């Protein structure tokens, strides 16, 4: 294996949780070295954080534009190869675009952009750049999610005729029920948070999980949102009817007011021959059920799993790996792509997932606002 | 406790599963004695079955009308007091109505009738009769379902703002995927099976569970059915968006093509303060979750349960009771009502549940056929 | 099927839980009719209870001896055929023996007797009587316990080399920790309760489960009891090392001070090829694990189950049956045996199970008192 | 936070799983930098591995003694501060001792040594060195294991009277059942693997878990091993009766022939007031049961957890962390100790755990060989 890939990080400083997740993920498989960063818009905090995590400060820049400008002055063999974009949502698009335009590989947090229009512009920029672009729908990095994808691809379920996915959380409860908080928090302010809260933040994970695992495209949707209070302008709960073909239907359910739920992402996929069920909070157990035989419980690391799944497990069966390991699997796939090595297209979500996601988010808003009508995805 | 109640049974002979369920349920609490019956339309089989289960044959009648006529000739203290109606669906209405019109108490299998119009006629007959009428939504007899109802009534969840219920089965798969079978089987023939397969048979259980546990009324619905094949005329899968108030929403999901699912009835109810989750196939475990404390798992028979729940448990905690015991709890409530004893209105589903159920079924069909539009329930 | 079997009941009146369990079990499959009884030693309460559960009072006797004497005067075709013995433990032996000596079939609650010596005398009486004798180790009536037995018999695990069974309860906690209560309660008084509390009451269930499911005999044991307080004379907790062959070993764990446990009976059986795991409180889920393939979860009622298992399920898969249904399965087997019909020897526990159980109980006491030494079973 | 701690690694090169686990764990909290190593006894492979994982090769040494000698030549502020010892078991003692004798901090894989005598010598060396010594009983790093420790310390269970722990695996099955393999594999050769296979490798984890969580000391033990075949000299299964006080008893069960089990470490701790249950393969769920209230399920990251537990969780509730994160928690505690910061003594297992473990292993072997007699621990 060649030398470590030179990684730059934008955002993710201080107490940022997403920062920890990406940083650890980059370390896990010995593939990356952080060589440059703008961890924080405040330069002093930026430098302090770099010192705290023991990153050399000579390439800690005062802002994103400076990072680009200075790195481009370095010879290619020293320059940052790939940048992880962990900034607030509205910055994903301009930063990712500029990175692509300047020949950098990009690992981008979701949502990829705040509008479908931006997403398409980014897609165009990516086509021109020819670099690697990965979108961190982290959950696709779990070994048993990969196993679902491969089992379905191999035909183990037969023709799929129904899909049911959900992402339930209760975290917004303390905010939404308090009139003052719900009027002030940026998450519920459409000017700051974009067009959707619940679908945009978590519903889109369920959407992505459906398309990632089944290999099917959702063709059209009908959504119903719940704002919970008249003075609240953002969806905090939404149910979406989905159609993936003439007789292939399903539902995506998402909520931020599902009291007591944590990261309740789950999916059930029903085919002619069998079905699969998986839950994010018990990520190492995959259930295959059928009308005839006993339920089968698949676990990571066993030889009976697919190559794609096994590639995402570092230890023998029975040693639980978790969300950091899932993200590390995505980083591993990106490393292979950057190095030009072979990799499976299930190793990391791509530009296409990002465009699809924005298309979905905008469609659900349009459907709800249009009076719960069917909207086609592009 | 007074003498056993004199029970008549219509239908449920031979290999009838529903027959076993009702018969056993009637025995469990020592309240009923079968004194008369028309187990089977064929009189010889009727008699043979009575002998097989050791019921005296002198009041085994050749048909339903004869049963009514002959029983009315008996003095009231010998006459059948209550009749269980276990016949094919289309016979529920005429039989239940005639029983009520002639002063009998009635225990009726669901669906109560095949149309809302019939349901209302039956309701009117019941108002006139003044006798007891129970509809066997069996699942409401489980101790932990009763516990949900009482916890919600006591305000433990606070204001409810979201409900999610499902009933998934896979049993119709072998039928629906075979062109010959799906064109022939009576369950998928609208002339024989009524207007709905999936919603009528199981979706309505989920609907009833929502209203039974929350005490809320579903005001309007929007449904999307799946017929799976162009030549199939009956819904085998349906998702229903529901609204119980301006900002109280939810979803009811039902399927008969959810491969590998058995009797996958489940409900999650989210309130401001806490939530409850329950699954039919693990009926003795009730989960209360909140955003702050540890998840709580309630089990039957403990002193911490409500009186209504405890009334439905015969043995100390840790002895699993099941579906027969749930039905027996309904029979126990009916016995109390017949005897004029005090009982909790959660002890058995009533005429009102039946009317609501038919209203729901017809509304979902109308919504789907109308292009997935919102339909108000009455 | 012939007429109902004439059942007599000794004990089980009033609030007796075991009384409800047996009575309901006898009804469930339409095989028995209660024709005579001594529900209670107090004759008035006895009669009152009979009326309460609507059993004719003409054959409600003032005591056990009268029951025997009077029933023998009746012609055989009217006489009680089988008696269920539900009295306090020390009465099981004399009553069961007298019943057998007089040609009655017997269904006996466990423990069969209070000593091994009695057990052997009863065994001799049974050999002479030639009637049916069943011991109600109720848990063997669960469909998935039967399934374990049949899978093991069919060789699905290969040679068994390890067994681990437990029965944990916490019920005695409030009693044992209170000096006054523990000195007074009959359950902890060796003069009244026999030589063992924990092993005698529940450990023996785990013992029976091991021998029932594996078909192996436990050859020798070494036990260590916990009395918890110096002034307590009865075991409230005991762990037993077991050997079933030179290299076939295991452990039986039982406790009545396992705080928070209810009826925590569970068993794991490890063979060369696979293993089985089952828990009483989730009786409808049987886990088959192996070193190579996915875990398999078996559930009742599926065609993939053995005939013995399927015989114990009344409804299709997904309708949970429970402890009453398990006991009913035992009563069904006894009915077949009484009628001289074919039955599988796994349908009900027998005299042999009773003798083995007493042998085990006495051996564990001897081992503990002897300083935790190995004791051979006979 | 100061600069990263300079970490040396001995062993763990190539495909070593334990190598990955330690390396990743050292990265996760930004505390360590690998500055020197002997990954492999073969110097070329050693260098190649360093290059593969992008560690500078200037301090990759040809053997352990060279590492010590050369590092001691470096000024203290450049020198390796702590060494992780990941070599074969018999090398743990001499290497750890030499490291301590030369003033290095040590992170040592378990078993700490191969004999109790060595363990005591190491303990003496450690007392003299005054450096930090940590033993990687990794499972103690799970947030919910730490939560058990703190809940028990806070008296939530009351006086503990029973403990039941197990560690079941099936991995040795393919080896043990093949006469040729079992005679050849080093794991079953006492000359190479030490005095115990099953207890030494995994039973000791269960032992440590008991002492870590309860804060109690096991006073005496009685063990029974299973070798499975006459020609096999190493225990592959062992059950151990334990006593922690006059009336405080329990059992430790371990097996490498528990077919189908993976890393089946589990513990149940029963106190006067409540009990705790936890399983390694579902590490993020901790069950608190009592005789009176509902079961409580604790999950990581919630404010209701103890400080020690919360310190071990990086993300909000509902993001599963796993075994790598558990080991990282141990590395974090060691980093604090090295830096002289405050830390809780539950943050990493110590020399004392190592001495206790060897004492336990030797006692179980003595007990079994002595005919299953009680042996006191020191």
Task: Tell me what the mean pLDDT of segment A173-188 comes to.
Answer: 92
DSSP of B82-110:
EEEE-S-HHHHHHHHHHHHHTT-EEEEPS
- Tokens representing D349 are 């297992």
pLDDT score at B50:
95
CB B377 within 8 A of CB B162: no
CB contact under 8 A, B296 and D298: no
Answer yes or no: is pLDDT of C1 > 70. no
Helices assigned H by DSSP within A115-199? 116-129, 143-153, 173-176, 179-184, 190-193, 198
CB contact under 8 A, D304 and B296: no
pLDDT score at A40:
95
**Chain B nearest C-alpha distance from D316 (Å):** 12
Task: Tell me what the mean pLDDT of segment A261-274 comes to.
Answer: 98
- Per 3-state DSSP, chain B is made up of helix, strand and coil in percentages (nearest 5) of 40, 20, 40
Average pLDDT over chain A, rounded to an integer: 96
Answer yes or no: is pLDDT of C289 > 60. yes
**Chain C nearest C-alpha distance from B320 (Å):** 5
Q: How many CA atoms lie within 13 A of C284 on its CB side?
A: 28
Answer yes or no: is pLDDT of A318 > 50. yes
| Chain A residues closer than 8 Å to B253 by CB | 164, 251
Residue in chain C lying closest to D222 (CA): C372
Which among D293, D298, D299 is the nearest to B304, CB-wise? Answer: D293
Which among D237, D251, D275 is the nearest to C162, CB-wise? Answer: D237
CA B34 – CA B26 distance, rounded (Å): 9
Strand, coil or helix: A156 = coil
pLDDT score at B1:
46
Interacting residues of D162 by C-beta distance below 8 A, sequence separation 6+: C226, C237, C255, C257, C258, D248, D249, D250, D269, D270
pLDDT score at C268:
98
Which among B171, B251, B291 is the nearest to A170, CB-wise? Answer: B291
Which among D292, D295, D304 is the nearest to B293, CB-wise? Answer: D304
CB contact under 8 A, A304 and C294: yes
Which among D23, D28, D316 is the nearest to A17, CB-wise? Answer: D316
pLDDT score at C194:
84
Residue in chain A lying closest to B251 (CA): A239
Number of A–D residue contacts, CB under 8 Å: 105
Contacting partners of chain D (3+ CB pairs under 8 A): A, B, C
Interacting residues of B133 by C-beta distance below 8 A, sequence separation 6+: B96, B100, B105, B106, B108, B126, B350, B351
Answer yes or no: is pLDDT of A193 > 90. no
Answer yes or no: is pLDDT of C132 > 80. yes
pLDDT score at D255:
98
> Which of A343, A355, A364, A85 has the alpha carbon at shortest distance from A211?
A355
pLDDT score at B2:
56
pLDDT score at D193:
81
Interacting residues of B338 by C-beta distance below 8 A, sequence separation 6+: B5, B81, B82, B105, B132
CB contact under 8 A, D296 and B295: yes
Contacting partners of chain C (3+ CB pairs under 8 A): A, B, D
| Chain C residues closer than 8 Å to D290 by CB | 259-260
Number of B–D residue contacts, CB under 8 Å: 34
pLDDT score at C267:
98
Q: What is the pLDDT along chain B (378 residues), one digit of tens a residue?
A: 458 999 999 999 998 999 999 999 999 998 999 999 999 999 999 999 999 998 999 999 999 999 999 999 999 999 999 999 999 999 999 999 999 999 999 999 999 999 999 999 999 999 999 999 999 999 999 999 999 999 999 999 999 999 999 999 999 999 999 999 999 998 899 888 889 999 999 999 999 999 999 999 999 999 999 999 999 999 999 999 999 999 999 999 999 999 999 999 999 999 999 999 999 999 999 999 999 999 999 999 999 999 999 999 999 999 999 999 999 999 999 999 999 999 999 999 999 999 999 999 999 999 999 999 999 999
Helices assigned H by DSSP within chain D? 17-28, 43-52, 64-73, 89-101, 116-129, 143-153, 173-176, 179-184, 190-193, 198, 204-214, 307-310, 323-338, 351-369
Task: Tell me what the mean pLDDT of segment C121-126 comes to.
Answer: 98
ipTM: 0.96
Report yes or no: B255 at the A interface, CB cutoff 8 Å. yes
pLDDT score at A144:
98
> Which of D147, D167, D162, D166 has the alpha carbon at shortest distance from D288?
D147
Q: What is the pLDDT along chain D (378 residues), one digit of tens a residue?
A: 458 999 999 999 998 999 999 999 999 998 999 999 999 999 999 999 999 998 999 999 999 999 999 999 999 999 999 999 999 999 999 999 999 999 999 999 999 999 999 999 999 999 999 999 999 999 999 999 999 999 999 999 999 999 999 999 999 999 999 999 999 998 899 888 889 999 999 999 999 999 999 999 999 999 999 999 999 999 999 999 999 999 999 999 999 999 999 999 999 999 999 999 999 999 999 999 999 999 999 999 999 999 999 999 999 999 999 999 999 999 999 999 999 999 999 999 999 999 999 999 999 999 999 999 999 999
pLDDT score at A240:
98
Whether the full predicted model's pTM is greater than 0.95, yes or no, is yes
Report yes or no: A277 at the C interface, CB cutoff 8 Å. no
CB D84 within 8 A of CB D107: yes
Helix (H) or strand (E) holding C334, with range, is helix C323-338
Q: How many helices (H) and strands (E) does chain C have?
A: 14, 14
> Which of C223, C217, C208 has the alpha carbon at shortest distance from C253?
C223
| Chain D residues closer than 8 Å to C163 by CB | none
CB C197 within 8 A of CB C342: no
Which among C296, C299, C304 is the nearest to A296, CB-wise? Answer: C296
pLDDT score at B287:
98
Question: Alpha carbon C129 to chain centroid distance?
Answer: 22
Give the strand order in the sheet containing A32-38: A32-38, A5-11, A82-86, A105-108, A133-135
- Tokens representing D152 are 């028990």
CB contact under 8 A, A319 and D317: no
pLDDT digits over C364-376, tens only? 999 999 999 999 9
Residue in chain A lying closest to B271 (CA): A259
CB contact under 8 A, B302 and D294: yes
CB contact under 8 A, B295 and D292: no
């Amino acid at each position: 294996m060649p030398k470590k890939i030179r990684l730059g990080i934008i955002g993710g400083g201080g107490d940022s949780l997403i920062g920890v997740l990406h940083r650890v993920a980059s370390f896990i498989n010995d593939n990356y070295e952080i060589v440059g960063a703008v961890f924080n818009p405040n330069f002093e905090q930026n430098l302090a954080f770099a010192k705290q995590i023991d990153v050399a400060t000579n390439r800690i820049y005062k802002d994103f534009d400076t990072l680009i400008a200075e790195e481009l002055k370095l010879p290619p063999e020293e320059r940052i190869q790939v940048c992880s974009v962990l900034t607030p949502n509205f910055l994903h698009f301009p930063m990712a675009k500029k990175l692509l335009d300047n020949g950098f590989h990009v690992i981008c947090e979701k949502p990829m952009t705040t509008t479908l229009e931006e997403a398409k512009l980014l897609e165009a920029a990516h086509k021109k750049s020819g670099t690697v672009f990965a979108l961190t729908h982290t959950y696709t990095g779990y070994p048993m999610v990969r196993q679902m994808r491969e089992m379905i691809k191999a035909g183990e379920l037969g023709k799929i005729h129904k899909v049911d996915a959900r992402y339930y959380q209760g975290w917004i409860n303390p905010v939404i029920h308090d009139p003052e908080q719900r009027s002030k928090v940026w998450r519920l302010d459409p000017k700051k948070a974009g067009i959707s809260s619940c679908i945009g933040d978590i519903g889109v994970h369920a959407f992505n999980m459906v398309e990632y695992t089944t290999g099917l495209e959702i063709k059209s949707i009908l959504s119903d949102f719940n704002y919970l209070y008249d003075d609240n302008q953002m969806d905090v709960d939404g149910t979406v009817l989905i159609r993936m073909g003439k007789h292939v239907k399903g539902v995506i359910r998402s909520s931020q007011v599902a009291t007591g739920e944590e990261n309740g992402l789950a999916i059930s996929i029903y085919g002619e021959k069998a079905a699969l069920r998986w839950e994010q909070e018990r990520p190492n157990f995959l259930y295959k059920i059928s009308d005839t035989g006993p339920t089968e419980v698949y676990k990571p690391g066993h030889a009976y799993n697919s190559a794609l799944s096994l590639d995402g497990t570092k230890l023998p069966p029975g040693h639980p790996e978790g969300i950091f390991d899932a993200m590390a699997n995505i980083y591993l796939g990106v490393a292979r792509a950057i190095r030009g090595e072979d990799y499976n297209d299930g190793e990391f979500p791509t530009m296409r997932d990002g465009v699809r996601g924005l298309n979905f988010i905008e469609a659900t808003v349009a459907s709800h606002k249009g009076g719960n009508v069917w909207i086609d995805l592009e």
